[in-house]
Amino acid sequence: MQFILGSGSPRRLELLAQIGVVPDAVRAPDIDETPHKAELPRPYCARMAREKVAAVPAAADDIVLCADTTVAIGRRILGKPEDAAEAEAFLRLMSGRRHKVVTAVAVKRGEKLWQRDVQSTVKMKSLSDIEIRRYLATGDWRGKAGGYGIQGPAGALIPWISGSFTAIVGLPLAEAANLLQAAGYPFDGGAA
């Protein structure tokens, strides 16, 4: 049995290490992440996690974990910005408002699938033009849902959250540990 992390996210690798889980292999799936017409954020996120875990090549006894993090304002999904202009538009949209961050986790072993999703609420402070420019200049928005990562420089822009900090970063650890345990991952007497 091997444990395969189906993600290219260094943050997910770091989060798993916090609970003593080190993958035997890392295989980022290549799937189309385009939302379906009128697809709501939570079902979209769950579908992405399922499609990712299904796309990772694995032996029948291997355990594969994939996750997807989606940032949303109302029904609108804010994906990974294409460029600084789109990242700025996302920041202006979230400025002074609450938004949702959904992270879905899927674990597969053979034909069995376990899945959970966690929804958190994040409040971004009202941002000045200078704060937006300063944040965009860090480049931290690249490759991140909604154009920010709470664990980086954007943490200074977020005065309040309700939910799971690790889910907002990209992997809800309590839920991930429970799913891995259900799939038979051999935790060594500890963290999970």
Confidence at 192, pLDDT banded by 50, 70, 90: very low
Give strand ranges (E) for 96-152. Answer: 98-109, 112-123
pLDDT tens for 9-67 read 999 999 999 999 999 999 999 999 999 999 999 999 999 999 999 999 999 999 999 99
Using a CB cutoff of 8 Å and minimum separation of 24, what contacts does 21-24 make?
21/177, 21/180, 21/185, 21/187, 21/192
Give the model's pLDDT for residue 187.
Answer: 81
Q: Is residue 188 a part of any domain in this protein?
A: no
Strand partners, 68: 104
Mean pLDDT over 155-171 rounds to 97
- Domain membership flag for residue 191: no
* The predicted structure's pLDDT at residue 112: 97
Neighbour tally for 162: CB within 10 Å: 10
Catalytic residue among 24, 30, 32, 68: 68
- The number of distinct structural domains making up the chain is 1
Residue 190 lies inside a defined structural domain of this protein: no
The mean pLDDT of the chain is 95
92 falls within a domain: yes
The answer to whether position 50 is within a domain reads yes
For the cut 70, the answer to whether the pLDDT of residue 170 exceeds it is yes
CATH code, domain with 130: 3.90.950.10
Helix 129-138 and helix 84-94, axial crossing angle in degrees, nearest 10: 140
- What is the band of 131 on the pLDDT scale with cuts at 50, 70, 90? very high
Asked if 140 is an active-site residue, the reply is no
Structural domain contains residue 120: yes
- Mean pLDDT, residues 104-111 taken together: 97
Q: Which domain holds residue 151?
A: 3-183
* Alpha-carbon gap, residue 165 to 135, rounded angstroms: 20
- pTM of the predicted protein model: 0.93
- pLDDT > 90? residue 74: yes
Q: What is the largest CA-CA distance in the chain?
A: 53
Do the domain assignments include residue 171? yes
Task: Enter the tokens of residue 97.
Answer: 């408002």
Determine the average pLDDT of the residues in 100-125: 98
Is residue 79 included in any domain, yes or no? yes
Query: Residues 131, 134, 136, 142: what is their CA dihedral angle, to the nearest 10 degrees?
Result: -110
pLDDT at residue 157 greater than cutoff 70: yes
